[in-house]
Chains A and B, each alone.
Chain A
Amino acid sequence: MPSTRHITPRNGDVLLMVGTMKGAFLLRAGKGRASWDVAGPYFPGNAVYAMAYDGRAGRHRIWAGPKSMHWGGLLRSSDNFGRTWTNPREANVKFPEGTGAALEQIWQIIPGRASEPNTLYCGVEPAALFTSRNAGKSWSLVEGLWNHPQRPRWQPGGGGLCLHTVLLDPERSDRAAIAVSTAGFYVTEDGGASWRPSNKGVRAEFLPDKHPEFGQCVHKVVQSTSKPERMYLQNHWGLYRSDDRGASWTDIANGVPSDFGFAMAIHPQDPDCAWIVPLESDEFRCTPEGKLRVYRTRNGGKKWEAMTRGLPQKGAFETVLRDAMAVDALDPAGVYFGTRSGKLFASADEGKKWISLADGLPPIVSVKAAVVSIPRGRKGA
């Protein structure tokens, strides 16, 4: 096994968690985000589709969902920035007896709201949502979604039948949303007891009925924290905005080279600002014209501008997957993304210019960013 390097983040540093098909990497930088330390690989050989930072209740805990091709997947956590990881005796996220399902992949880990510091959510394949109410010690299936009458008709996309997006409404604790490929966008308003599809306006190019109630292949959805009614959705063909918490969706593919893509990120404060990386088509899932371009809108999708400074514009047939783009919470916001060819880029000025953080990592499937908060009296690692 390769030797593993470590990082020692300090309070206020930016932490990047990068999941790849062959392990995870951690990076840190100070607020200027000009110079980065790289650590890893963690879980060498394991596919890591999901990572998260939990800075609530005095923690500085990193979660990861490594999956060994041989030994399966489970959630592991580290309280010392990767120096040691838990290795649960029992698989902690698993389907109960009687469901007839077995865990394929952990796709998403989301810490709950600040008001529920011991709650975590986990989206998995086959499409299901799990919750923990005791800071990750134990997990249970969200039965209201699992028993949804439409679930047997959900179909797997190219990446499997995965629940890849979990959005917690910042204003209403009983309201949350999830997205599944291929089922679409679903909303609960009663804390997960019941769910309804919410795909009005989102098209399904691959079905005879282009606007079904459910069955859309939603690739990613993001929600504004400052204006929660504002959401953006990157579809399998289609780029959308909602101003009513997903009740309806408006096409905003204005001036982008393609409305096909996976990755999407929203500004931490400005609800009118979002980033995407368009791909040519579902047949050719690479950046159009061999140019690696991030597109940014600053007016809610009325117009998109290519952000290319520092990104390769020749022979760059790259793919950026649905969870491989993230923003930090600083001002100006940092934007990060990784490619399937193992390139990792960062912008400390909201996309105006980019620097390469790594080149030659295994295929990148997940990028998450966090600002580290270490309680007084504790060291970073």
Chain B
Amino acid sequence: MSLVFVIPGPLRELARNRSEIRVDGAAGSVSGALSLLWRECPAVRDRIMTELGEVRPHVNIFVDGENIRDSGGLAGDVRDGAEIVILPAVSGG
């Protein structure tokens, strides 16, 4: 299984300045896919997830354009070749 992660600008410094990271391995779910990303790029994990293993409330993850909050969360399916985009939410102030 091969997946492509799109890394948001503020985290690229922690991802050796890459905007895209390709990972290979068995994922099965969004959670499994993220584990492959942590293996390739461990420094982005704590910025995306809390200590409780939850996606930070103002971070969105889209799998093939679908926000995982609307499609099964971390347990949702991921297909071979999927594009996973990580983006900051519009929240601010």
Query: Is B one of A's binding partners?
Result: yes
User: Chain B residues near A100 (CB, 8 Å)?
Assistant: 52
**A99 to B, closest residue via Cβ:** B51
A101 CA to B89 CA, complexed, in Å:
23
Assuming the A-B contacts A87-B14, A89-B14, are A72 and B50 also in contact, with contact meaning beta carbons closer than 8 angstroms in the complex?
A: yes
User: Chain B residues near A70 (CB, 8 Å)?
Assistant: 10, 56, 58-59, 88-89, 91
CB distance from B69 to the nearest CB of A (A): 15
The segment from A90-98, A187-195, A209-217, A346-354 that touches chain B is A90-98
Tally A-B pairs: CB < 8 A.
51
Tally chain A residues at the interface, Cβ within 8 Å: 19
**Which residues 1-58 in B have Cβ within 8 Å of A in the complex?**
10-11, 13-14, 42-43, 45-48, 50-52, 54, 56, 58
One of B43, B52, B56 near A89 (C-beta < 8 A):
B43
User: Chain B residues near A284 (CB, 8 Å)?
Assistant: none
One of B42, B47, B51, B88 near A103 (C-beta < 8 A):
B51
Most buried by B among A69, A70, A89, A100: A70
Q: Are A94 and B51 in contact (CB under 8 A)?
A: yes
Assuming the A-B contacts A70-B58, A70-B89, are A102 and B10 also in contact, with contact meaning beta carbons closer than 8 angstroms in the complex?
A: no
Assuming the A-B contacts A71-B11, A71-B59, are A101 and B51 also in contact, with contact meaning beta carbons closer than 8 angstroms in the complex?
A: yes
Most buried by A among B13, B51, B58, B88: B51
User: Chain A residues near B47 (CB, 8 Å)?
Assistant: 71-72, 91
Does B65 have its Cβ within 8 Å of any Cβ on chain A? no
One of A69, A91, A103 near B91 (C-beta < 8 A):
A69
User: Chain B residues near A99 (CB, 8 Å)?
Assistant: 51
CB distance from B87 to the nearest CB of A (A): 9
**B42 to A, closest residue via Cβ:** A89
User: Chain B residues near A95 (CB, 8 Å)?
Assistant: 51
Q: Are B56 and A87 in contact (CB under 8 A)?
A: no
Chain A interfacial positions (CB closer than 8 Å to B): 68-72, 74, 87, 89-91, 94-97, 99-103
Chain B interfacial positions (CB closer than 8 Å to A): 10-11, 13-14, 42-43, 45-48, 50-52, 54, 56, 58-59, 88-89, 91-93
- Of all A-B residue pairs in the complex, the 5 with the closest CB atoms, nearest first, are A89-B43, A102-B50, A91-B46, A70-B88, A71-B47
